[in-house]
C-alpha cells in the first residue's frame, strides 16, 4: 500500500433499514484485498434517483446485506492492487462500473431472472473513503475530468450514451427529445448536440429550459403551459421525434408514443410516475415505433463513452457538491430536483 493510505480505518455511510433515520456515518476498517481486486481511494461519488428510492423506500434493498453502503458511481485513485491484477496499477485514476461483470455483448441474466446485481443495489455501494473493487468492475477515468465530474459517468452518463449511441446509432440531423433537466437528460442533451442533432427539452421550469439552451438545446417546452406533444408537432412540422429519452415512465409513455416520429425510438429509462408502463397500441404499431428498456450499459460502452468525453471535451453538469458528512443534505437536494448531478466529495 502506498503513501495515499495513512490509516487502517475509514469513514463510510451505511444503511441498516429503509429510511434516512437509519443512515449512519460509520468508522470501519479499510477492506483487505482479494487477488483480483484494486483498492481505490475515493475522490467523489455522484448520486442517482435510484439511491433516493433505495434509501427512502427500500426499493432494491436486499435484506441480509446490513449494514448496507449506498451509491454506485465513484471516481478515485488506485492505491493498492491484488497480486492477480493486470488492468491497473497504483496511481491510476478510475471510475466504477454500474453493472459489475457485464463487459460486452448481451445483458446479463435470463428471461426468468433478469440481472439485478448492481453496485449500491443488490451489491454493496461506494459511499466510502476507500472501496475494494474487482479489477473488471472499473475503467480508467477521463483525463479531461476531475473526480467530481468523472463520478457522474457510470450511470447517468452511460445511460444516455447507451440509449442514443450504442443502441440508437444517433446521427446528425435527427431530432432528440429529453424529459427534464436531471443527470441523464443533460447528458443526453450534450451527447446529442455533439452529434449534430436537433434537441427539444421538456420541463416545468422556464429558468431550467433557458439554461438547457445554453448547453445546446434547440427548443424548450414548458410542459405545465400546454400540451407538450402538440408543441412537438408544431416545432417539427408534424414529423415528430426520432429519439425520445423517456425519463418520466409509467403512463407517461403514452405521450412519448404520440410524439414519436415514424420509425422513432423511445428509450425507457425513468420511473418517476411508476414502474408499470402503458400506452396506445395504434400509434405504436402504425408508426412502427421501437420501445426499448435501457439498463445503463456494459463496460465496453463505458470505455467508449470515456474516450468520447475526452475527445469532445464534454463537461458534466454538476448542480452542487457536498462534503461526505453532508450526505443527508445532498439527498434533500436530489429530492428537490437538481439541474444536472449532485456529487458527494469524499476526498479533497
* Spatial contact of 285 and 308, defined as CB atoms under 8 Å apart: no
CA 89 remoteness from chain centre: 26
| CA gap 304, 294 in Å, rounded | 17
Q: Give the pLDDT of residue 347.
A: 85
| CA gap 304, 299 in Å, rounded | 9
| CA gap 220, 279 in Å, rounded | 24
| CA gap 194, 212 in Å, rounded | 14
| Measured CA angle at 218 (ends 268, 163), to 5 deg | 25
Instruction: Select from 267, 243, 158, 235 the least CA-distant residue to 193.
Output: 243
Q: Give the pLDDT of residue 62.
A: 74
Instruction: Select from 54, 51, 131, 69 the least CA-distant residue to 330.
Output: 51
Q: How far is CA 274 from CA 5, 115, 182, in A?
A: 44, 20, 17
Rounded to 5 degrees, φ, ψ at 47 are -105, 150
Q: How far is CA 16 from CA 29, 48, 247, in A?
A: 18, 20, 29
SS3 state of residue 143: coil
Q: Give the pLDDT of residue 6.
A: 52
* Spatial contact of 145 and 316, defined as CB atoms under 8 Å apart: yes
Starting from the edge strand earliest in sequence, which strands make up the sheet with 260-268, in order? 219-222, 198-203, 175-179, 241-246, 260-268, 290-293
Is the peptide bond preceding residue 67 cis, with omega within 30 degrees of 0?
Answer: yes
| Cα four-point dihedral sign 175, 181, 186, 190 | positive
| CA gap 297, 335 in Å, rounded | 25
Q: Give the pLDDT of residue 109.
A: 94
Under 8 Å CB-to-CB from 132, ≥6 apart: which residues? 31, 32, 33, 34, 37, 38, 39, 40
- Residue-wise burial string across 13-50, b where 16 or more C-beta atoms lie within 10 A, e elsewhere: bbbeeeeeeebeeeeeebeebeebbbbbbbbbbbbbbb
Q: Give the pLDDT of residue 293.
A: 96
* Spatial contact of 98 and 118, defined as CB atoms under 8 Å apart: yes
* pLDDT of the chain, 348 residues: tens digit per residue: 444 545 799 999 999 999 999 999 999 999 999 999 999 999 999 999 999 999 998 887 777 777 899 999 999 999 999 999 999 999 999 999 999 999 999 999 999 999 999 999 999 999 999 999 999 999 999 999 999 999 999 999 999 999 999 999 999 999 999 999 999 999 999 999 999 999 999 999 999 999 999 999 999 999 999 999 999 999 999 999 999 999 999 999 999 999 999 999 999 999 888 889 999 999 999 999 999 999 999 999 999 999 999 999 999 999 999 999 999 999 999 999 999 999 999 986
Q: Give the pLDDT of residue 246.
A: 97
Amino acid at each position: 500500500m502506498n503513501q495515499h493510505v495513512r490509516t487502517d480505518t475509514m469513514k463510510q455511510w451505511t444503511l441498516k433499514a429503509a429510511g434516512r433515520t437509519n443512515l449512519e456515518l460509520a468508522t470501519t476498517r479499510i477492506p483487505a484485498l482479494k487477488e483480483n481486486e484494486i483498492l481505490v481511494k475515493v475522490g467523489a461519488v455522484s448520486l442517482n434517483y435510484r439511491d433516493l428510492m433505495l434509501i427512502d423506500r427500500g426499493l432494491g434493498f436486499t435484506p441480509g446485506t446490513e449494514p448496507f453502503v449506498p451509491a454506485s458511481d465513484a471516481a478515485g485513485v488506485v492505491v493498492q492492487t491484488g497480486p492477480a491484477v493486470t488492468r491497473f496499477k497504483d496511481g491510476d485514476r478510475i471510475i466504477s462500473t454500474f453493472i459489475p461483470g457485464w463487459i460486452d455483448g448481451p445483458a446479463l441474466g435470463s428471461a426468468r431472472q433478469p440481472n439485478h446485481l448492481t453496485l449500491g443495489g443488490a451489491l454493496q455501494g461506494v459511499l466510502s473513503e476507500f472501496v475494494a473493487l474487482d479489477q473488471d468492475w472499473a475503467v480508467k477515468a477521463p483525463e479531461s475530468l476531475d473526480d467530481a465530474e468523472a463520478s457522474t459517468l457510470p450511470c447517468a452518463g452511460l445511460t444516455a450514451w447507451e440509449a442514443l449511441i450504442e443502441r440508437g446509432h444517433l446521427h446528425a440531423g435527427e431530432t432528440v427529445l429529453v424529459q427534464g433537466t436531471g443527470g441523464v437528460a443533460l447528458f443526453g442533451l450534450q451527447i446529442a448536440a455533439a452529434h449534430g442533432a436537433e434537441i427539444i427539452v421538456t420541463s416545468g421550469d422556464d429558468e431550467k429550459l433557458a439554461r438547457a439552451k445554453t448547453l445546446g438545446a434547440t427548443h424548450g417546452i414548458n410542459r405545465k403551459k400546454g400540451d407538450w406533444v402538440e408543441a412537438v408537432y408544431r416545432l417539427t412540422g408534424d414529423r415528430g421525434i426520432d429519439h425520445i429519452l423517456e425519463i418520466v415512465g409509467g403512463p407517461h409513455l403514452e405521450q412519448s408514443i404520440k410524439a414519436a416520429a415514424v420509425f422513432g425510438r423511445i428509450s425507457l429509462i425513468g420511473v418517476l410516475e411508476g414502474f408499470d408502463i402503458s400506452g396506445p397500441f395504434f400509434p405504436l404499431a402504425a408508426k412502427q415505433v421501437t420501445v426499448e428498456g435501457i439498463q445503463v450499459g456494459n463496460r465496453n460502452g463505458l470505455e467508449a463513452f470515456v474516450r468520447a468525453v475526452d475527445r469532445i471535451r464534454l463537461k458534466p453538469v454538476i448542480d452542487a457538491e457536498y462534503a461526505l458528512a453532508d450526505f443527508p443534505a445532498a439527498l434533500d437536494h436530489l429530492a428537490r430536483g437538481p439541474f444536472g448531478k449532485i456529487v458527494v466529495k469524499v476526498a479533497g
